[in-house]
Amino acid sequence: MDDVDDLLGTAEPVDPPEIFNMDLRNISRGVSITWLMQAFEMDRNTIKKRLADCPPIKMGAGQQPLFKLSQAAAYLVKPRFDTKTYIKNMNINDLPPFLRKEVWEARLKEQRWKEKAGDLWHTADVTETFAEVFKLIKNQMQLWVDNLARTEAMSDAQNKHFVGAVDQLQQDLHRELIELPKARKTSPQSADAEDDE
């Protein structure tokens, strides 16, 4: 009874029309336009217009179309959701073909804008930037070694250990700079698009 009240959009107890006495087994066999008119409180013309693209599951008595209730409801009831959120969560394959071209063109424009703004970098540019940073670090570390050798603040053993640690760090940085582009390229934006699909 509560389901009927919810379906009719009222919390007040009402006597359900005779048409609602169908059991679930009968509903699963399909519902008629007349049944939908009473269930959704709509006139016949509105129901027919909204169901124009909804395929009936079969034809009933008198060649009247019978619809799957859940499928027909999707055509009859305006969804309650935020349109912007729904569109944002859509993937390109959900769009009609004529809109897909628009999406790709918009993404290309966005890429150009991000590149000009400096927010989109090519892998080679990222690697070159890392190389410059590593070069600066290497030069600074060499200055540490040279300056400490002149101050004689450390014993020979300490100095030897420090120089070894600096050399090892330089080798590690060099290796990472060589291996980084192989192991971790910046992903193409097409990968982001594939996530949407």
Q: Are 123 and 181 in contact (CB under 8 A)?
A: yes
Rounded Cα gap, residues 14 and 12, in angstroms: 6
Residue, of 173 and 68, whose pLDDT is higher? 68
Backbone angles phi, psi at 165, to 5 degrees: -65, -40
pLDDT tens digits, 111-170: 888 878 877 777 777 778 878 888 888 888 888 888 877 777 778 888 888 888 888 888
Q: Are 60 and 26 in contact (CB under 8 A)?
A: no
pLDDT tops 80 at residue 65? yes
Q: The pTM is what?
A: 0.37
